[in-house]
């Protein structure tokens, strides 16, 4: 069974990651706002034209702008795994 200090480590890590992830996603959305042709996107959505909407969004640009956020998530998952492994090792002893 987990001890309170193990929960504290997990919550501390989550608290440190949340603001970084939030800022990263906001930066990505700001880039989208600056790059995406909103009128073209709105017309494509209204016409239910998925291909045209994809072109207006420039999906490659969207994916690229989210890379920093995905790196934060990846690093956090790895850190959580390490924390869990340490907790498991301690609880087995």
- Under a CB-based contact definition with an 8 Å cutoff, are residues 45 and 53 in contact? yes
pLDDT, one tens digit per residue, over 30-85 is: 888 888 888 888 999 999 999 998 888 877 788 888 999 999 999 988 888 887 78
Indicate the pLDDT class of residue 2, thresholds 50, 70 and 90: low
51 inside domain: no
Q: What is the pTM of this model?
A: 0.62
Domain coverage including residue 76: 4-33+59-92
28 inside domain: yes
Q: Is 36 helix (H, G, I), strand (E, B) or coil?
A: coil
54 inside domain: no
Q: How far is CA 60 from the centre of its chain?
A: 16
Q: How many Å apart are CA 4 and CA 46, to the nearest integer?
A: 52
Q: What is the pLDDT of residue 3?
A: 58
Q: How many domains does the chain have?
A: 1
Q: What is the pLDDT of residue 4?
A: 62
The residue-averaged pLDDT of 10-34 equals: 87
């Amino acid at each position: 069974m987990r001890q309170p200090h193990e929960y504290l480590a997990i919550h501390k890590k989550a608290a440190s990651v949340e603001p970084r992830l939030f800022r990263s996603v906001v930066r990505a959305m700001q880039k989208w706002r600056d790059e995406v042709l909103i009128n073209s996107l709105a017309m494509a959505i209204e016409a239910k034209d998925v291909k045209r909407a994809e072109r207006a969004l420039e999906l490659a640009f969207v994916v690229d702008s989210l890379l920093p956020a995905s790196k934060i998530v990846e690093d956090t998952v790895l850190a959580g795994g390490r924390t869990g492994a340490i907790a498991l090792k301690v609880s087995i002893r």
